[in-house]
Amino acid sequence: MKANELIVIATSTPLDSPGYRRDFLNCLCYPAGIPVLFSYRKRWIEQALLEKPLEELKGAKALIMFCDIPEQAGQDFGFLPLRFVRFEGFEPLEFRDSPDGNINIAVRFVLDRFVFPASNMEQQRAAWQNWVLTTQGNKYPRPKAHPEVDNARFVFMGRDFQEVTAQAGDTSWVTLSEQLAKAKTLEHCSFYRVQSIEAPSKNTYTPVTIEEYMRHEARVFKSGKTYRINMQFYRSPGKAVPSKILTPRVSTDSIKLSQPLTENIGSFSNASIIANCSRVYSSEIVTLVIEDTDDKEALAARAEFVILLKPAKWILPVVVIMLAVGTFASSITSESIKEISASSSWIGSYSAGIAFLLKAIGSFLVGLGAYLGFRKTPSDK
């Protein structure tokens, strides 16, 4: 690919297609690095793009672009570039050669950063609209009622555009969410995103490590540790704060989650979910889901992460040693001490006191070992 080219992955959110809407909202919700699939009928994908070798396309710069329905039938979409992604390929590959234009082909990509919007969004939207209509040939997306809909493509090789000055990711996401909230097909939706999942590190938090597990990217949690899931919500005027209706849950009793702890800041809210991990002795693969469980119409994203909960390397041998030594010490009696020492010796003379002391130490070791090995987090009941 040339330096001034990118792959455009355009999508709309028809009112009668909640699945498309959920996929789109998820694309806004997930942090960078998450792999995503969009599904398109073959006729909406540029044929020249399908014919390119996979090795040429893999890793190419791509762009997620939202298509807002127009005021009147026959008009063009309103175009809103949202997020850069890294193109991964088409699936299944053998479908690329199918003559059936209605066959479904999946477009795989990995999420990257959000587009930098300008401070004057009215001018910026006009510039983006002009970029699509004047630089993409005759293949840009069109609504079903458009007279040239047969020429439209939703996945195509396009010309790159000039961004404004770089800005903080928080600012970009809030500004773009504000624009999306005005779209006719998204006016009842809630917008939130997971910014990061962090692990404690001395007096601060750092992003958790990621490992590949069974072809999945898993966030690594460690036994006995506490983690923080950082989130952000766009607060559309007149709407309730969506954090009050989101429900975080995991597929194991070994992790306990708090409800979102929210802080309102102007047009958006920051929130954190605290995850407390119990002691475990073997690795667990866990599914973490954040969603509105009452959402039957796909009006909010459903964030899903794979968590690999690992045991502390030292805990099992230490617990076993403590329990073994403690149990042995608790079983010692004054008679057994006298049997291994002369009755006239100092040890033999104080065998009863020594046995009592050893029993006390043994009970302490057993109790400490049981606490380290089987204790619950403060939130357990």
Q: What are 338-351's pLDDT values in tens digits? A: 677 665 577 767 67
85 pLDDT above the threshold of 60 = yes
Give residue 376's pLDDT: 42
Average pLDDT over residues 249-277: 88
266 pLDDT above the threshold of 80 = no
In degrees and rounded to multiples of 5, residue 330 shows phi and psi of: -70, -20
Give residue 226's pLDDT: 93
Average pLDDT over residues 145-168: 87
Predicted TM-score of the model (pTM): 0.80
In tens, the pLDDT along 297-336 reads 899 999 999 999 998 766 667 767 877 877 877 888 777 7
Alpha helices in 145-258 (DSSP H): 169-180
Q: 117 near 180, Cβ under 8 Å?
A: no
Residue 55 C-alpha from the chain's centroid:
27
Percent of the chain with pLDDT over 90: 49
Number of H helices, E strands in the chain: 9, 17
Distance CA 72, CA 91 (A): 35
Which residue is listed with tokens 């005027």?
237
User: In this structure, what token pair is assigned to residue 353?
Assistant: 């006191």
In tens, the pLDDT along 90-142 reads 988 777 778 788 899 999 999 999 999 988 999 999 999 999 999 998 999 99
Rg of the chain (C-alpha set): 29
192 or 204, greater pLDDT: 192
**What is the identity of the amino acid at 284?**
E
Give residue 378's pLDDT: 35
Give residue 375's pLDDT: 52
User: In this structure, what token pair is assigned to residue 57?
Assistant: 């396309």
362 pLDDT above the threshold of 80 = no
372 pLDDT above the threshold of 80 = no
Over the chain, what is the mean pLDDT?
Answer: 86
**What is the identity of the amino acid at 63?**
L
Which range is least confidently modeled, 136-140, 235-239, 264-268?
235-239
Question: What sign for the dihedral angle of Cα 77, 79, 80, 86?
Answer: positive
Count the Cβ atoms, other than its own, within 10 Å of residue 117: 24
Distance CA 284, CA 213 (A): 11
Strands 61-68 and 5-11: parallel
In tens, the pLDDT along 171-203 reads 899 999 999 999 989 988 989 999 999 998 878
Give residue 165's pLDDT: 75
Distance CA 316, CA 193 (A): 37
Q: Residue 292's closest CA among 324, 260, 247? A: 247
At residue 2 the predicted structure's pLDDT band, cuts being 50, 70 and 90, is confident
Give residue 315's pLDDT: 63
Average pLDDT over residues 157-169: 81
Give residue 16's pLDDT: 85
Give residue 316's pLDDT: 62
Question: What sign for the dihedral angle of Cα 66, 71, 74, 76?
Answer: negative
User: In this structure, what token pair is assigned to residue 40?
Assistant: 């398109």
Pick the CATH number of 190-313 from 2.60.40, 3.30.70, 3.30.720, 2.40.50: 2.60.40
The torsion region of residue 137 among left (phi > 0), alpha (psi -120 to 50) and beta comes to left
Give residue 344's pLDDT: 57
Average pLDDT over residues 264-269: 73
